[in-house]
A and B are shown apart, each in its own frame.
Chain A
Amino acid sequence: QVQLQESGPGQVKPSETLSLTCAVSGVSVSTYYWYWIRQSPGTGLEYIGYIYYGGRTNYNPSLKSRVTMSIDTSNNQFSLELNSVTAADTAVYYCARGLGVINAFNIWGQGTTVSVSS
């Protein structure tokens, strides 16, 4: 059974870097596309980007200048960094797995709430 679990600080100060990790069990991160998505009451569901084994990435242009994703095959996990955060980055952050080559998210982590405040 494939499971994803997000981890990271629940609060980040403005202008600092938000760092989250998604631990994957039941399948190797060397397969499939791996995604980050966030959700806030004001913005709804927002695609952040994906990473594929080998380093292929796609980032939402609205966040591209601030986002970095990486894969750690030795620990079977992938990560998100979002720098220069503001209150607008306050959201529930989800990691998710894609449905093969289709950009549908068929397995999700439980989500982690990140609040940006001083």
Chain B
Amino acid sequence: DIQMTQSPSSLSASVGDRVTITCQASQDIGNYLNWYQQKPGKAPRLLIYDASNLQTGVPSRFSGGGSGTDFTLTISSLLPEDVATYFCQQYDNFPITFGPGTKMDIK
């Protein structure tokens, strides 16, 4: 299985900050990488697919980048509603696997 790691595991930032989360795959996955946001008690929400494509309806302050083994999710200007846990997910190889998550809150 492809192992996904994320850093940091938790993050505290101020409203208006630019925030970047990283995700690393244990082998080359091309751009077959998706990002999700999950708020407590809710299902995950797809933010970014194929590493850099913004899902319909997702605010443009979210962006994704990277390819191969190293990927990033960036929030250009953090808002209070962005408090959540963020997960990456690869689908280059089955089984599909997820990162452990990055928990983000507001300072």
Residues of A within 8 A of B (CB): 44-47, 58, 60-62, 94, 96, 99, 102-106, 108-111
Contacts and interface: CB of A to CB of B under 8 A. Distances in A.
Given A58-B94, A103-B91, A108 B44 contact: yes
A104 B34 contact: yes
Interface residues of B, number: 21
Contacts of A96: 43
A102 B91 contact: yes
Contact of B87 (A45, A58, A108): A45
Nearest to B34: A104
Contact of A102 (B42, B49, B97): B49
B96 to A, nearest CB: 4
A49 B45 CA distance: 19
Given A45-B87, A108-B43, A108-B44, A102 B96 contact: no
Nearest to B35: A104
Given A45-B87, A104-B34, A99 B46 contact: yes
Contacts of A62: 95
Contacts of A58: 94
Residue of B49, B96, B100 with most chain A CB atoms under a 10 A cut-off = B96
Contacts of B101: 44-45
Contacts of A111: 43
Contacts of A61: 95
Nearest to A49: B95
A66 B65 CA distance: 37
A72 B37 CA distance: 30
B56 to A, nearest CB: 8
Given A103-B91, A104-B34, A106-B55, A47 B46 contact: no
